[in-house]
Amino acid sequence: MEAIATAPTAQSAPSPPAPAPDPGSASVHAATAEVAVVGIGYAGLPLAVAAAAAGHRTRGLDRNDFLVAQVNMGRPPVDTVTLAELAAVSDRLDATTDPAFLEECSVVALCVPTPVSPQGVPDLGPLISAVRTVRSHLVPGQLVIIESTTYPGTTEGVVREVLEESGLVAGRDFNLAFSPERVDPGNTRFGFHNTPKVVGGLTPACRDRAAAFYGALTEQVHLTRSPREAEAAKILENTFRQVNLALVNEFAQICHRLGVDVWDTIEAASTKPFGFTAFRPGTGVGGHCIPVDPLYLIHRATQAGVPFRLAEQAQRINDSMPVWVAARARELLERDGVPVRGARVLLLGVTYKPDVADVRHSPAGPLAAELRGAGADVAFHDPYVDAFSVQGQPLTPTRDLRAAIEAADLTVVVQRHRVYRNGLLARSRRLLEPCGPAPIEEHQA
């Protein structure tokens, strides 16, 4: 489908509601309409802030009392929204745990988590629970948008079925659309306003109304044929990253065995101005998206009788990286005559990516578990994390980074936060950097 560039102009901004609103028309949504965002975490709060910044009276709904209290006090509970951004919309945004207000809203967007079980099976429980809450307060003329990542067919299937238990019919009495969240914590270049929104609607009218809503919040909206393509697009984006990270992670292991500098090799390959995208190896993959989203498509493809073998193998390779890094740590210690049992190992950066406070699915967890299982005494340092537990047992935190590096038998850089780029790593007795070599100036410190 054609991508349509939209800006908050009179043409793309929705007009005031008619006396008898037609849910198939974008004119239902007024510029001052009430907007509800169900789930005000990493993805929901940026949407709520964007809606409020566009002039909409916006309210977040969440079961988590802490998240609600923090938003109402003007304190961002997640690092995908800044203090200044939240303060700028304080007069148009608040949060609550009471869903009764949903009946007053023209737009209801669901941004709740879609996790997987320990067996890797998609868990739609949180989403369906949120949809049931919306169903209980659904009124004619509303636009309901799903932003939670899920497998193709969810919006047209179980979501539609649950909402229509209200007696209202999707596409006739209310609009239904899917628009995947595209939040990248720590990304200072691309935020909500300049990251294109993909929109698929149950009907063309549903799609157009959702596009009109997002068109006032973002610079570009891309329309898909149906919600299925929008759902699949989000999973494809993260499967692409999963597969390419698996490629470079396995390539790093081969380079290590062959005595090839993987970083010099990637730098050389990156000089090609076409046909190559640089991915870099690390301790593993983390966050909510890459370790989880491909499993939704793997599950759905298997149900359809078409196994997604490449994604399955990529998942296994990336899941195995903490084990490989732990084996390299043992090799380094034993090579220098330091028994692994009782060795003091320091993990630097236990978040899933540099310079964010998000520890969801962090590879530091399975890495620490492997090292502890071998008998090592594992501690951690992270300027963004006060406490970090592995298998229910807390790791020892350290605040004195210089002293901890000097005392450790081995320092493992799990995430290269900016604070680790000041020359301190040169003080380490033994240094393992699966996330990349230190800049030259650090080795000269």
List residues with catalytic annotation.
289
Per DSSP, the residues of 111-150 read -----B-TTS-B--HHHHHHHHHHHHT--TT-EEEE-S--
Quote the tokens at residue 428. 């380490």
Residue 146's alpha-carbon distances to 19, 155, 190, 369, 391, in angstroms, are 27, 7, 22, 36, 33
Do residues 28 and 141 make contact, with C-beta atoms less than 8 angstroms apart?
yes
Tell me how many helices (H) and strands (E) the chain has: 13, 16
H-state helical runs in 151-217:
160-163, 204-215
Of 140, 285, 283, 304, the C-alpha closest to 232 is 304
Q: Compute the distance between CA of residue 267 and CA of residue 287 in angstroms, rounded to an integer.
A: 26
Helix%, strand%, coil% for the chain, nearest 5? 40, 15, 45
Per DSSP, the residues of 24-70 read TSGGGS-TT-EEEEE--STTHHHHHHHHHHTT-EEEEE-S-HHHHHH
How far, rounded to the nearest angstrom, does the alpha carbon of residue 58 sit from its chain's CA centroid? Answer: 22
Quote the tokens at residue 236. 């494809």
Quote the tokens at residue 241. 């990253």
Which residue in the block uniquely carries the two structure tokens 């809203």?
105
Which residue in the block uniquely carries the two structure tokens 């296994």?
316
Q: Compute the distance between CA of residue 157 and CA of residue 230 in angstroms, rounded to an integer.
A: 14
